[in-house]
Amino acid sequence: MSTPTSDANPQPRRQRRSRASRLLHSPVFFPLVGFIAVFIVMALANDNFLLPNNLTNVARQGAIIAIIAVGMSFAIFTGGIDLSVGPVMALSGTIMAGLMAAGWPPTVAVIMGLLLGMVFGAFNGACVAFARMPPIIVTLATMGIARGLGLIYTGGYPISGLPAGFSFFGRGEVVGIQVPILIMLLVYLVAYVVLHHTSFGRYVYAIGGNEEATRLTGIRVPRYKLLVYTISGLTAAIAGLVITSRLMSGQPNAGTGFELDAIAAVVLGGAAIAGGRGAILGTLVGAMLLAILNNGLNLMGVSPYLQDVAKGTIILLAIYIGRGRNA
Which residue ranges make up the site for other proteins (CB under 8 A)? 1-17, 193, 197-200, 202-203, 205-206, 209-210, 212-220, 272, 276-277, 326
Closer CB to other proteins, 17 or 45, in the complex:
17
Please give the span between the terminal C-alpha atoms of the chain, in angstroms, as a whole number.
Answer: 6
Q: How far is residue 21's CA from residue 2's CA, in Å, rounded to a whole number?
A: 11
Q: With contact defined as beta carbons under 8 Å apart, do 69 and 266 qualify?
A: yes
Q: How many CA atoms lie within 13 A of 317 on its CB side?
A: 10
86/201 with CB nearer other proteins: 201
Query: Shortest distance, CB of residue 69 to other proteins, whole angstroms?
Result: 21
Give whichever of 14 and 19 is closer to other proteins, judged by the CB atom. 14
Q: How many residues does the chain have?
A: 327
- Determine if residue 256 is left, alpha or beta; phi over 0 gives left, psi from -120 to 50 gives alpha, anything else beta: beta
For other proteins, the closer CB: 175 or 327: 327
Which amino acid, residue 275?
G
Cβ contacts of 323 within 8 Å, gap of 6 or more: none
Distance CA 282, CA 284 (A): 5
Minimum distance from residue 227 beta carbon to other proteins (Å): 12
* 210 vs 307 by CB, closer to other proteins: 210
Give least dist CB 15 to other proteins, A: 5
CA gap 111, 99 in Å, rounded: 11
| 159 three-state secondary structure | strand
Nearer to other proteins, 85 or 279 (CB): 279
Distance of closest approach, residue 186 Cβ to other proteins, in angstroms: 18
CB of 146 closer than 8 Å to CB of 88: yes
CB 2, min distance to other proteins, A: 4
Residue 295 CA to its chain's centroid (Å): 18
Q: Nearest distance from residue 226's CB to other proteins, in Å?
A: 14
Q: CA neighbours within 13 Å on the CB side: how many for 170? A: 21
Cβ proximity to other proteins, 57 vs 326, nearer residue: 326
CA distance 217 to 200: 15
Task: Write down the least CB distance from residue 130 to other proteins, Å.
Answer: 12
